[in-house]
Chains A and B, each alone.
Chain A
């Protein structure tokens, strides 16, 4: 029988989910696989929760576990199914880690930027990211050519990216 999780652990664990997911995603480039690896990581984190010492950096610890899980997952994957090369994964891991530290900051900025979007654009991007939705389904729902919907999404993402960048820059100055 596992010992109960401490309050502190639950709080840290919860807070870490998003940055951890983003950290993994940048290395595998695939939302579904990133979710799978996150789950594997979570299993390890939960089973080793007693190793966690309060006051230490939970996210750093979790990232170590995740890095290992990314590797494991790559080894399980057939070679030809691998998206990215070893070199690529190693190269982005550092940036992915640094960026995941800023996840909360970026989340807030993104909230504001989403509010600043034109209503139409906001609705479009929200419908796209509704759980279970996809660009293709969205295009069918809207009755617009798929290509044009993709282009719109692409444009909105670009402006969100720029907007988040600006807000974060302002906040940190």
Chain B
């Protein structure tokens, strides 16, 4: 039994003694206990501890004495009144659901890579020590020593800062959507007043309360360099340029973090990067549709900060072809196999629900998620068909197939086979709400309205969880797109409140992202002396956000960052056709699509050895580190005065920080050794030094530190 199982079991026992274990949790408890003698023993000890505490009110009462008196008295007369033996027992404690069964053990060692040069080996030692959580040491054993507990900080009440500026729905900067407006009603944001406390204060209060409750001391505030790199990767999809890093690190301004945040959120890259992230979720990385048009559509929406509800409505109700209506590409990509993938993707990506399991059987944990629900949802797409046309391109004369979504008034349902092999028909509906069966009723429009109804709906919930995960490394649930009664939530009150406020704000994406980026949790360092046992989502605990979790760079972030580190100036990462093509062909090495019922995408981009080798030996990195072609490296070697300065600039360009003193010393020593060695083979020192620096640059680009957002 490892420590994750131990934690999971204890949390199930907690749920049991609180009297609110669900059936599936109960089944899980049985499974764990039956699998292992140690688990059985732990279960018995856990539940009996609860019994001991309940028996004599946590040491306050002494029931034995009471009994004895009672029995003594009774033994001389009538048989005792047995009812009095049962002192009222506390009936319920409640579940904390601290852990879940997903042992997401990350093979942390995989960040380490095999390196081929001497410089790299030494750097390896340098950067690995930097990585406290990446070492795959033994599991931390139970370390609770009651007397040694760190006293939590005084439970300071967070004072809500004055009256926050409330942006009423009507006041939103109105930019006319460039999108076709005839593709469905736009749900007006409900006119709900935003409660008093600012979003940031709300987040901070709830997160802190949880730290205190768990006796966890959060990590220190991140160093400027660490934070700057993180916020650029999260909002612009790339590391900061050397100029941006220098300006920020040397700035004395009090609110320099806020300034950077404003610059990034108002810049062109934020909407472009967010659209890239969402198009990957919506159609994957190798779609057969016009992904540029989809990204263009999303980018315009994000740039104008249009409500997310509007985007969802457009995506679900889109008609026409994918070239002229970018939003149509989402459903066009998934309309194969009777729109089963369209159903599954809409549920999973837009609603955070793993409905596809119930395509063939009832959800294992939630009785109401049955086959009928899946097929009712699916029936919403059965008024729509794909029309194909052959078009001849005016300029090139090439023939192209163009596919369009066309609505056809009709009353068809969805047919499916039950587990018993009985054919059944399902009529359109969403979560128990039926959509009228009439040719005049546009089912997809009805569906969009139902999805967005209520002040705490699944669309908002799924989006909040996604953005939270995007910025903080984990969602409120262990799996970001698997919400529901079966999935434990780390901060239920906060999650609900954020969802309500997101709806109340008119699905204001910018406001949500800003608040999360301003929160205390986002400012924390990823480095801690030791990982708290209670906050280790990689080992299956729910996240408590007491440090910044490490996020591996996505292929796009990696690609952009290598380019930025190359020092090339004036790059338009998101709009230059050449770069987009280059990126696509680079990324395609790692991805392939299965056109199945779930249109799953397979990736080899997982930080594994093949990927590391592709990176190390691939053209991308080679071009950047090659002495003849590398612009930046050349300029560093020519223009910087001293060795120290050269090393500092290379470190800043790649890792967005200056080297530490010991790091600097080791590198200098290494470089000197290398030059001496090469001199013995009559290589001129100047050339040998340049080779050494090139090695260093290459090593930094391939380091664990570079490939992770921390």
Contact = CB atoms under 8 A, between A and B. Distances in A.
B273 to A, nearest CB: 34
B176 interface: no
B94 A150 contact: yes
Contacts of B89: 31-32, 35, 131
B49 A110 contact: yes
A147 to B, nearest CB: 5
A155 B85 contact: no
B93 A134 contact: yes
Interface in B183-241: 206, 209-210, 212-215
Contacts of A59: none
B151 A118 contact: yes
Given A35-B89, A154-B96, A157-B14, A148 B54 contact: no
B57 interface: yes
Main secondary structure of the interface of A (DSSP, over half): helix
B209 A145 contact: yes
A4 interface: yes
The CB with the most chain B CB atoms within 10 A, among A43, A107, A125, A145, is that of A145
Contacts, number: 230
B96 A153 contact: yes
Contacts of B61: 131
Contacts of A158: 10, 144
Interface string A3-21: 0110000110111011001
B94 A135 contact: yes
B85 A15 contact: no
Contacts of A110: 49, 52-53, 59
The CB with the most chain A CB atoms within 10 A, among B11, B91, B145, is that of B91
A155 B93 contact: no
Contact of B57 (A106, A130, A149): A130
Nearest to A32: B91
A11 B53 CA distance: 22
B651 interface: no
Interface string B77-111: 01110110111111111111010000000000000
Contacts of B534: 155
Contact of A4 (B50, B60, B76): B76
Interface string B9-49: 01100101111000000100010011000001101111111
Contact of B48 (A10, A13, A99): A99
A46 B80 contact: yes
B313 to A, nearest CB: 33
Interface in A145-173: 145-155, 157-165
A132 interface: yes
B67 interface: yes
Contacts of A163: 144-146
B43 A92 contact: yes
A117 B59 CA distance: 12
Contacts of A107: 52, 56
A164 B60 CA distance: 18
Given A113-B146, A130-B60, A31 B214 contact: no
Contacts of B26: 83-84
A145 B493 contact: yes
Contact of B94 (A15, A114, A136): A136
Given A106-B48, A146-B94, A92 B33 contact: yes
B350 to A, nearest CB: 27
A135 B49 contact: no
The CB with the most chain A CB atoms within 10 A, among B11, B50, B95, B210, is that of B50
Interface in B438-477: none
A128 B82 CA distance: 26
Contacts of B147: 116
A83 B23 CA distance: 8
B487 interface: no
Contacts of B82: 39, 42-43, 46
A50 interface: no
A65 interface: no
B75 interface: yes
A21 B44 CA distance: 12
Interface string A39-79: 10011001000000000000000000000000000000000
Contacts of B71: 5, 10, 13-14
A35 to B, nearest CB: 5
B59 A88 contact: no
B47 A26 contact: yes
B30 A84 contact: yes
Contact of A42 (B50, B52, B85, B493): B85
Contacts of B59: 110-111, 114, 126
Contact of A165 (B45, B56, B78): B45
24 contacts: A4-B76, A14-B68, A14-B71, A22-B51, A25-B47, A26-B48, A31-B50, A38-B86, A46-B82, A91-B40, A95-B44, A103-B52, A110-B52, A114-B58, A118-B149, A128-B90, A135-B18, A144-B209, A147-B492, A151-B213, A157-B46, A160-B53, A161-B46, A161-B49
* Interchain residue pairs A-B with the least CB separation, the first 8: A154-B96, A5-B75, A129-B58, A135-B93, A150-B96, A159-B144, A148-B213, A134-B92
